[in-house]
Amino acid sequence: MLSKRVIPCLDVRDGKLTKGIKFKGNVDIGDPVETARLYYEAGADELVFYDITASSEGRGIMLDVVDKVASQIFIPFSVGGGISTVEDMRAVLLAGAEKISVNSAAVKNPDIISQGAAAFGSQCVVVGMDVKQVPVSEKIPSGYEIVIHGGRKSMGLDAVEWARTVEALGAGEICCNSIDADGAKTGYELTLTRLISEAVTIPVIASGGAGNPDHMAAAVTIGKASAALIASIVHYGEYSIKDCKDRMAARGVKVREVW
């Protein structure tokens, strides 16, 4: 029986770890390589790195981080942020990541998904989507709209329709992030998570809003997600990965308990 995955997300800027609260006021909390190793040993099932670096110099530092992480931890990890071409994807995969994640670049140029899938296989291509709740309209029938630039720009694109599109283009997985719930720690946006999970047959990672392990259990049961992305609840020591998994298991969720 497949285990539901627990995935800590590490935001990296200029080679250092940050944690964005509603994408604002990021604070430095340490070394990404060391943190990755700690999470690996603590039982994380997978890791996600988001590179929020703007400069090309910072990009190079990120590839160095990826290489170091790949040499020390032996679970899958993905890298997102600033990836907009097949060559960007190749550089990150060659540095040792399993998967690359595209977000706004895919909205602007959906072909990047099919190009990445053709070059490296669908299993490598995660599409991250930032989603905001809006009034139901003809254009946004689900009431959930795709946004980019950390939620600052609405794209006039329905989230459910976009999920189906990226699956058809060859995405291997979707990471669905609720901008409304992100950083609020009041739980994942379960309605959204379930809508997206039911719209596609590829795995969906729930993201944004985890405040405790019960929220994670809800994401994979009520929300029907395959995995729960977490950040601040583990980054600041409030819960360990084991705390999260024990609680999920107590709620009847199959998780990986031996590592």
Quote the tokens at residue 216.
Answer: 């994670």
- Which one, 5 or 235, has the nearer CB to other proteins? 5
In angstroms, give the least distance from the CB of 209 to other proteins.
Answer: 22
In angstroms, give the least distance from the CB of 137 to other proteins.
Answer: 30
Rule CB under 8 A: say whether 37 interacts with other proteins.
no
Rule CB under 8 A: say whether 40 interacts with other proteins.
yes
Rule CB under 8 A: say whether 259 interacts with other proteins.
yes
Residue 49 phi/psi, 5-degree rounding, is -110, 130
Tell me how many residues contact other proteins (CB under 8 A).
34
Rule CB under 8 A: say whether 3 interacts with other proteins.
yes
**Burial letters for 13-47: b for 16+ Cβ neighbours within 10 Å, e otherwise?**
bbbbbbbbeebeeeeebebbbebbebbbebbbbbb
Quote the tokens at residue 4.
Answer: 């539901």
Site string for other proteins, 177-206 (x = CB under 8 A): ------------------------xxx---
Rule CB under 8 A: say whether 227 interacts with other proteins.
yes
Burial of 2 (0-12, 13-18, 19+ CB in 10 A): exposed
Active-site residue set: 11, 130
Give the type of residue at 217: A
Of residues 54-83, which lie at the interface with other proteins (CB under 8 A)? 70-72, 74-76
The H or E element that residue 97 is part of is none
Quote the tokens at residue 66.
Answer: 């990826």
Which residues have CB under 8 Å from 63's CB, separation 6+? 91, 92, 95
In angstroms, give the least distance from the CB of 45 to other proteins.
Answer: 6
Residues lying near other proteins in the complex (CB under 8 A) are found at 1-5, 40, 45, 70-72, 74-76, 93-94, 96, 98, 120-123, 172-173, 201-203, 224, 226-227, 254, 256-259
